[in-house]
Amino acid sequence: MKTCKSCKSNFSGICVDDGELGKYGTAITEDALKVDNRSCWQMGRELFDELVNQLPEDEKQKFFRNNKDIDDLIKRIETGSWK
């Protein structure tokens, strides 16, 4: 889930972060897309919307009302629990 494909720094196949791929503006290769859990990864808006939309309506409200963070959301999707 945490790959270059879903990272907010991926702009049409170009990395706009100075993270693990190297300097700003580095092309994202097919090999780079296969690596999960990069330390520089930050969730892109499309993935965020996709994950939130998987939640039942009452849990969406709980997510926003209780200021849950992205890691909480991913854990909820993966395990079925907020804890």
Note the pLDDT tens digit of each residue in 11-27.
899 989 887 776 788 88
* Residues 36 and 50 reside in one and the same domain: no
Pairing of strands 26-27, 10-11: unpaired
Whole-model pTM over 0.75: no
* Residues 38 and 51 reside in one and the same domain: no
Measured between alpha carbons, how far is 46 from 56 in angstroms, rounded to an integer?
18
Average pLDDT, the chain: 84
* Residues 60 and 77 reside in one and the same domain: yes
* Residues 8 and 31 reside in one and the same domain: yes
Structural domain harbouring 55: 44-83
* Residues 52 and 30 reside in one and the same domain: no
Number of domains, the chain: 2
* Residues 48 and 31 reside in one and the same domain: no
* Residues 26 and 57 reside in one and the same domain: no
